[in-house]
Amino acid sequence: MPSHLPPLTALRAFAAVARQGSFARAAASLNVSTSAVSHQIRALEAELRTPLLTRARNGSGHSSTSPTQAGTELLAAVEEALTRIGEACDAIRGQARRSRPSLTVSASGSFASLWLAPRLATFAGMHPSTAWHMRAIEEDRPDMAREGLDLTILRLRPGAVRPPDQLLFEETVFPVCSPALGPLEEPAALLRHSLLEEEHGDSPEKSWRQWLSLLGLPQTKRVVRFSSFNQ
């Protein structure tokens, strides 16, 4: 193994300039300043004691920056080395992913944010060796194989539960109002206020049309509808 190698950052900067024919474009691709790239190339050429690039200048006869003969030889070696390093890093990441157990869980957006997220964070802290992934999916019963899910939390009506489903808990749905309104003197007082509603076609219990009908009240146009609970 060579006793001394130039810094990897300088070699990457040189390869970027040689490939792109421009210090500015190379700097942009590396997310550094043009002056930083120029400094790294000068230091690399000083260390190797030979020019590696022909600079593009007005009237110089060069339309772009290109490698010299020595630069061409170095570029081939650097690109081969960077490719092999990248492949080795990808292989190691893949092995780490395969060796680390993972669990992908899905739920509706509102349930995921209000109930699942805080509990999953606590549970994940108790099992740091597991990689967790939570997804918000609105489908009533998503295709678990297609979506890559290990566990999904569904909102189902009684009678729709089937093996291997396990009941987590039941829920009761009913209207609520802002505490600032205080007790309403009669149900008809609802009609004086704007009513908020989540659009959910297969859940009539979330519709004010259903509740107003049960209360014997006429329908109202003062309903503000939202496409999701999070809104």
Instruction: Tell how far CA 96 is from the center of its chain.
Output: 20
- The confidence score (pLDDT) of residue 59 equals 45
How many angstroms separate the CA atoms of 103 and 126, rounded? Answer: 14
Bridge partners (DSSP) of residue 105 are 134, 151
Q: What are phi and psi of 112, to 5 degrees?
A: -60, -40
Q: Report the share of the chain in percent with pLDDT over 90.
A: 19
Read off the amino acid at residue 200: H
CA angle 129, 133, 139 (to 5 degrees): 150
How many angstroms separate the CA atoms of 95 and 128, rounded? Answer: 18
How many angstroms separate the CA atoms of 221 and 109, rounded? Answer: 27
Q: Please tell me what DSSP assigns to residue 178.
A: -
Q: Which of 13-17, 55-59, 100-104, 213-217 has the lowest mean pLDDT?
A: 55-59
Write out the H or E segment, with its range, that includes residue 147.
helix 144-147
Bridge partners (DSSP) of residue 198 are 226
- The confidence score (pLDDT) of residue 60 equals 46
Whether residue 218 has a cis bond before it, omega within 30° of 0 = no
Q: Please tell me what DSSP assigns to residue 190.
A: G
Q: Indicate if the pLDDT at residue 61 is higher than 60.
A: no
How many angstroms separate the CA atoms of 195 and 193, rounded? Answer: 6
How many angstroms separate the CA atoms of 156 and 165, rounded? Answer: 10
Domains of the chain and CATH, by start: 8-97 (1.10.10.10), 100-152 (3.40.190.10), 179-226 (no CATH)
Q: What are phi and psi of 223, to 5 degrees?
A: -120, 125
- The confidence score (pLDDT) of residue 57 equals 61
Q: Indicate if the pLDDT at residue 178 is higher than 90.
A: no
Which residues, other chains included, contact 181 with Cβ-Cβ below 8 Å and sequence gap of 6+? 193
Q: What are phi and psi of 156, to 5 degrees?
A: -125, 155
In contact, 190 and 184? CB cutoff 8 Å: yes
What radius of gyration, in Å, describes the C-alpha atoms of the chain?
Answer: 32
Indicate yes or no: pTM above 0.85. no
Q: Which of 49-58, 140-149, 184-193 has the lowest mean pLDDT?
A: 49-58
Q: What is the pLDDT of residues 111-169, one digit of tens each?
A: 888 888 888 888 888 888 888 888 888 777 888 888 888 889 988 887 888 888 888 88
